[in-house]
Structures are given as C-alpha cells and as structure tokens.
Chain A
C-alpha cells in the first residue's frame, strides 16, 4: 500500500514535469514569431538568383548600404524562391525581401504584415515550348507537362490567368504543372523529356530560343500591359521602427539602378564574375528586349484584380493599401484615391 502510494506520487510528479516541459516549449515556440530586430545594428535582406536582381548585386558589391549606414551590419541572404523568404520574414529573420509581385500579394491576402517598398526590374517572361505544333494554350493536350518555378509563383499565376482567359477555367492546367527550378526546366525541355513547355525568364528564355524553341505566349500578352517583375517588400514593423534604415535601403537601391542604367558596361564588368558568365553574354542578357531596371511599381493592381478573379486571392486588394506611401509613385494606379 505504502509502496503504491509512493509510486503514485512519483507518477504525479512525473506528469507535472512533463506538462511543464510542454508548456515551456510552447512558450518558446510562441516567442519565435517575435524574435529579431530589437537590435538595430543589423539588417537582413533576402534576395534570389538571376539577373533580374542585378541592382542588388551592385548594391552589395559597391557597399552602398554599408556606406550609408556606418556601424550597421548588413546581412545578405540568397534564397531559391519566394516561399522561404516569406517564411524568414514571418519568423523575423529577414527585414527586407525581394520577390515577384504575386507571392507578395498572396502573403498580404493571408495576413502577412508587409507592403511593397519598391520595384527593381521588368523582365520578359514567356511560356516556351519545343513542339512546333503548339501555337496557343489550346494546343496543349492533357498529357503535356508545363514546368513552372513553384505553385504560387508569378509564372504560375500568369499561367492560371491565361488559362482563365482561354478556357474560362484558371485550374485547367493544375494537374499538368511540374515544379522545377529554371535551369532544371531548361535542361528537361532541351533533353526532350515529358516536359512540353516552360514558363521561362532570361537568361534561360534566350538560351531556349537559341535552341530553336518558340514562345507560346508572354506575360505582357496575358496581363495586357508591362508589369514590374521583381519587387522589394518590407515588413510594416521595419518600416515604422527603422525609418532611417528603410530610407537608406531604397536610396542605395535607386543609386544602384541608376548606375546600371547609366554605366551599363561598367556594371556588366562588375557583375560578370559574380554571375560567372562572359561579359558579352551578360550584356546581351541585361539589355535583352524587355529587361528594364527601374524602381517603378507597375501592374500591381491589375495583377491583384486578376488574382482575385481567378480565386487565388480571397480579398480584393487595393494598390494604395499595399504600397508604402513614398513608393506609390506617379503611375496611373495611385490616381484612384
């Protein structure tokens, strides 16, 4: 009896300990969301790969931000897609991120507290196929596979918008998409695998065209207008709590964009070793038809409208509400208010 009693006590103690441990873990888990930037001496910027992000490379190489913010440590992180950047920003590890306009809108729609701060570049984006008989979306059979960067990427959204325009069904190709990185998709297309088409951007786009492939449709055709292809987004908290750093980032970025536009040859010389390509090739890519470096934000409201129409966004999103005031610019969209 005594033995049992003792055992019960031990058990009760054990259970209490375990519960305490779990509660403790939960408490720390709940803190992870707010970890970060009470420390102003560090800024974390997240970008991706490719020449669409060239101004950021210039910014980095010429230490524009470090010069503007002496004593502040700038951490550059490179990610393979918008999703990990969003997750990093949600977890408080990233203050300022660069990605396509669609993933940023999807975040806003789901309650991410971030807004567009700037554009970086316009880029040609096009659906490329290696099959001569395919001239429009209608010519794809249901066994053809289309490579996109990832579901929810701007390329995927463009494909959904196009399929809505042609078939009245944005999900027409849902079961035919394959998620592949640009180089993998290009290799798969050239190797003549089951991949029929690739939603591509330069430099992969021009390489594919050089292989005799052809464009089925372009982003501009689908949207009916040019649009910013890479945007910079910042957490609202960063904007409010660190206005000085926020302004410095935008200023440095604008300097980098101007530098590229005014000194293309010098910029190419700086960037060629970074991208590990010949200067000649890089210059062709950076001046390729459709690649424009600019801080302008264009086409966001049109994209939001289309994304709402095809059901990717649950809410109607107004351009004015999703761009920081200084960045709204003078384009037609801001006249709405």
Chain B
C-alpha cells in the first residue's frame, strides 16, 4: 500500500512537470512571447549542452561544489569544537551563544562588502561567506543535539570509566548525529544561496568563477537561453543534493542505526 502511494506520487510529480513544460513551450512558441523574455525549451537545451560541452560550465559547477564542500567541512569542524567546548566550559557556552545570536540572523550578502575588504575577492572570501552561512545552523543544531542526549547514556559512559573525550566523541557526538545532519542540510541550503548571490552581486570570485558567475555573464551578454540554462543547473544541483545525497546519507546512517 505504501509503495503504491509512493508510485502514485511519482506520477503526479511527473504529470505536473510535463504540464509546466508544455505551458512553457506553448507560451514561447505559439504564445507570441518574445524570445528575449522566454526562449523555447529547445533553445535553452541547446545552450545548456553547448555550455556543458564547449564552455566553462562543467568547471564552474565543479568549482561551486568544491568551495561549498570546503566551507561546510570547515564549518562542521568548527561547530563540533565549539559545541564540545561549550559542554565543558560555561564561558565558551556563553560565547557560542553570543556569536550565533549575532551571526545566525545575518545574511552572508550583508557581510560581503566587509569580507571583500578583509579577504579580497579571491577564494578566501567565498569560503568565508560559506563558513558564515553554514557554521551557525550547524552549531545551533549541535548544541540542541548535545542537550538532548539522554542522561542515562552519559551515566553508562561514566560507569564504563570512559574519559571525557571518549564520552564526548562516542556518546554525545554519535547520539546527536541526526541533529548534526539536519544542521548540515540547512547549512547547505543557506550556503548554496549565498554562493550564487555573492557571485551575481560582486562578480567572479575565484579563477573562472562558479555557477553564479555563469548566470551573471549570460545576463550581461543578454543571452536569455543561457540565463534559463544557468537557473536549471542551479535547481538540478540543489535538488540532487537535498533530495538524493542527503536522503542517501540519512538512510545509510541515522535510519540504519535506528536513530530517528
């Protein structure tokens, strides 16, 4: 029954995708909308293929994903250290509360002018922006995760005479994995948006730039099909990572270990 429902959902999603694409194509071809405002699906597809085969787009996608991976890795590492230290020292707990209170509601784009003055317009800047976007949600989630570790786990750890670091790693961190994962999910969503926004507002950051720079260039050269191609790539990558990659990781870890 459950499988049947899932299949049905798939068909419904497919149905709507086809409806939307048909409306798009009709509007572009017989609807009389100028190709400069709404190019046909064929034009967009051929631009996309051309950019993928002959342009810098594959490199730009690789670059975007690479800086996000680096940024999120740094953020995860820093968040774990901060959260663990917060557990041990009241002073650090206070600090991390103050920092995340300031940092969490602050959009990365608002910080961008400052970051450019401090770090220049190179890779360092873009990574700083991603770390800023990713660190706070991970830290807040991880703190919540540590708070939620059942007291009995910790008591068992002490009973087994585990050292404080063993308790921190084996018990606290592992027990808060679901919290960490959902923090990383939010972190990805935030840093993906920040990366694209930063590149579109302030231009190429890094050698060939990333996918945001691709869209920006299509805009300045008035290549509307290219604009659509860029947007489609952004959507597809976002979908792939949020729907497939995170689902896969969750199935392999949290669900498999019965943590959810």
Contact = CB atoms under 8 A, between A and B. Distances in A.
Given A22-B19, A23-B23, A110-B36, A178 B222 contact: no
Contacts of B220: 83, 103, 150-153
Nearest to A23: B23
Nearest to B16: A18
Contacts of A22: 19-20, 23
A178 B121 contact: yes
B120 A110 contact: no
Given A83-B219, A145-B121, A151-B221, A178 B203 contact: yes
A115 interface: no
A130 to B, nearest CB: 15
A180 B36 contact: no
A27 to B, nearest CB: 8
Contacts of B223: 110
Contacts, number: 77
B249 to A, nearest CB: 33
Nearest to B219: A83
B120 A193 contact: yes
Interface string B219-237: 1111110000000000000
Contacts of B221: 106, 110, 151-152, 312
B207 interface: yes
Interface string B26-43: 010001111111100000
B203 A90 contact: no
Contacts of B122: 194
A179 B27 contact: no
Nearest to B121: A178
Which of B20, B35, B222 has its CB near the most chain A CB atoms (within 10 A)?
A: B222
Contact of A151 (B19, B34, B217): B217
Contacts of B34: 33, 90, 111
Given A22-B20, A26-B27, A106-B222, A150 B203 contact: yes
Given A22-B19, A22-B23, A30-B27, A111 B219 contact: no
B37 A112 contact: no
A19 interface: yes
- Most B CB contacts (10 A, CB to CB) among A32, A83, A151, A188 go to A151
Which of B32, B37, B38 counts the most A-chain CB atoms under 10 A from its CB? B37
B136 interface: no
B36 A90 contact: yes
Interface in B12-60: 19-20, 23, 27, 31-38
B204 interface: yes
State which size class the interface on B falls in.
20 to 34
B216 interface: yes
B88 interface: no
Nearest to B35: A111
A176 B207 CA distance: 7
A107 B224 CA distance: 11
B204 A178 contact: yes
Given A22-B20, A151-B221, A179 B36 contact: no
Given A26-B27, A151-B216, A111 B36 contact: yes
Interface string A5-43: 000000000000001001100100110110000000000
A188 B113 CA distance: 12
A260 interface: no
B170 to A, nearest CB: 45
Contact of B121 (A33, A111, A150, A194): A194
Contact of A107 (B23, B33, B204, B222): B222
Given A30-B27, A178-B204, A180-B203, A112 B217 contact: no
Contact of B203 (A32, A112, A179): A179
B204 to A, nearest CB: 6
Given A112-B222, A312-B221, 11 more contacts: A26-B31, A29-B38, A30-B27, A30-B33, A83-B222, A110-B224, A111-B36, A175-B207, A178-B121, A179-B204, A179-B216
Interface of A: 19, 22-23, 26, 29-30, 32-33, 83, 86, 90, 103, 106-107, 110-112, 145, 150-153, 174-180, 188, 193-195, 312
5 contacts: A30-B27, A30-B33, A30-B37, A83-B219, A151-B220
Q: Nearest 4 CB-CB pairs, A to B?
A: A179-B203, A152-B220, A110-B222, A30-B33
